[in-house]
Amino acid sequence: EPEVTQTPSHQVTQMGQEVILRCVPISNHLYFYWYRQILGQKVEFLVSFYNNEISEKSEIFDDQFSVERPDGSNFTLKIRSTKLEDSAMYFCAIRTGGVYGYTFGSGTRLTVV
C-alpha cells in the first residue's frame, strides 16, 4: 500500500478554471511538498509545508497557487486560474524514514485545454 495517495490521477480542465489536487498520506507527517514535472522535463520543487504553514516556495509558486491541510490529514494544492503552461504531472511528497527518507505519490496528471 502506497504511503501517499494522490487524487485524481488525471484531470482535464478548461483554461481559467480552478483545480484542487489532493494528497493523502497514510500516517502523520510534518513535512509535505509539492513538485511539478512538465512532460519530458525534470521534477521541479513548488512548495514545502511544515507544521501547517508554507516553509518555502519556488518562483513557480505564484499567487495562482495555494496549499492547505483542510482537515489535518489531506494536503491540497489549489491552482486558482489554470493556464495552458500549468499542464504537468504534480507530485506530492512527504518526509519519511528518518533523516533521508522522502516518498513521492504517484502523481496527478493535469491537462489544461
7-46: contacts with other proteins (CB under 8 A): 31, 33, 35, 41-45
Question: Strand, helix or coil at 84?
Answer: helix
- Environment class of 14 (CB within 10 Å of its CB; exposed 0-12, middle 13-18, buried 19+): exposed
- In the beta sheet, which residues pair with residue 91? 35
Binding string, residues 49-88; x marks residues near other proteins by CB under 8 A: -x----xx--------------------------------
DSSP 8-state secondary structure symbol assigned to residue 96: -
C-alpha–C-alpha distance, residues 88 and 64, integer Å = 15
Binding string, residues 81-100; x marks residues near other proteins by CB under 8 A: ----------x---x---xx
Q: Which residues bind other proteins (CB under 8 A)?
A: 31, 33, 35, 41-45, 48, 50, 55-56, 91, 95, 99-107, 109
